[in-house]
């Protein structure tokens, strides 16, 4: 148990990575999908919508379509997606949209 108390997270440093504007569309698509995956997983575990979060009874106010989330909740998903994109770039990968990738 002591090793857990001494745990020091060491995430990849993305502080100098700036996302280009061209990735804003991708960022929003990833944010949307992040919410969809989370919601699907919760629903499969028996969670339902509830106006207030109730872990005991598996109710959550964010089990709604992404479009209906508050900007605060959307920002949470955007920050997650943004960090993923920044890690990809920090590791030296390049993200480009191909000409024939218009379908989702």
**Does residue 41 lie in a domain region?**
yes
Q: How many residues does the chain have?
A: 104
**Does residue 29 lie in a domain region?**
yes
Q: In this predicted structure, what is the pLDDT of residue 5?
A: 80
pTM above 0.95, yes or no: no
**Does residue 11 lie in a domain region?**
no
pLDDT tens-digit readout, 45-66: 999 999 999 999 999 999 999 9
Whether residue 6 is predicted with pLDDT greater than 90 in this model: the reply is no
Give the domain extent around 52.
20-90
Is 77 buried (19+), middle (13-18) or exposed (0-12) by CB count in 10 A?
buried
Q: What is the mean pLDDT of the chain?
A: 93
Counted domains in the chain: 1
**Checking phi first, is residue 55 left (phi over 0); if not, alpha (psi -120 to 50) or beta?**
alpha
**Does residue 14 lie in a domain region?**
no
CATH code for the domain in which residue 50 is found:
1.10.490.160
**Does residue 51 lie in a domain region?**
yes
**Does residue 3 lie in a domain region?**
no
């Amino acid at each position: 148990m002591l090793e857990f108390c001494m745990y020091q997270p060491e995430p990849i440093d993305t502080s100098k990575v700036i996302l280009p504007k061209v990735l804003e569309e991708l960022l929003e698509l990833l944010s949307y999908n992040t919410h969809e995956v989370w919601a699907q997983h919760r629903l499969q575990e028996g969670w339902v919508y509830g106006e207030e979060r109730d872990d005991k009874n598996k109710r959550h106010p964010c089990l709604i379509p992404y479009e209906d989330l508050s900007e605060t909740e959307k920002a949470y998903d955007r920050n997650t997606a943004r960090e993923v994109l920044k890690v990809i770039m920090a590791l030296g990968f390049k993200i480009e949209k191909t000409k024939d990738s218009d379908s989702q």
